[in-house]
Amino acid sequence: MALESKLTIFFEEPFWVGVFEELDGKKLSVCRVVFGAEPTDAEIYAFILRYFNHLRFSPPVKTEIKQKADNPKRRQRNAHKELEKSGVGTKSQQALQKQYEENKLERKHHSREQREAEKQEYV
């Protein structure tokens, strides 16, 4: 199955935030990027071209693939709702939380090793 990517940009006091979502089969990976000031379309395009390969996506989370509507009016209605919606989907939030927790454990492990190394130096 093909890899699908999606970018959602929204305002989260006091910054503009972008959430990249990658759907590979039934697995969703997410990356959150803080833009600061409201980015223009050209700035977003330049960011994607320059930094997309360097983004750190969350570990994949299993997700259900919803059946897409064949009715064009329904598709238009759903697209309109998607544009109005502020925030990130529940699965995306879970993936971001998982990435945050893993980074936190990694920092703890690294700082613990640093403290032990410092103790070894002083002993």
User: Which structure tokens are listed for 97?
Assistant: 């939380």
- pLDDT of 106 reads 93
CA–CA separation, 74 and 76 (whole Å): 5
User: Given this model, what pLDDT does residue 97 score?
Assistant: 82
If you search the block for the tokens 């502020």, which residue do you land on?
86
**Separation between Cα atoms, residue 64 and residue 73, nearest integer Å:** 23
Report how far residue 73's alpha carbon sits from residue 61's, in angstroms, rounded to the nearest whole number.
31
Task: Print pLDDT tens along the chain (123 aa).
Answer: 578 888 888 888 888 999 998 888 888 888 999 988 888 899 989 988 998 888 888 888 887 767 766 788 888 888 788 777 655 567 788 788 888 889 999 999 999 999 999 888 887
Judge if pTM exceeds 0.75.
Answer: no
Q: What is the pLDDT of residue 121?
A: 85
Reading the block at residue 20, the tokens are: 């990249």
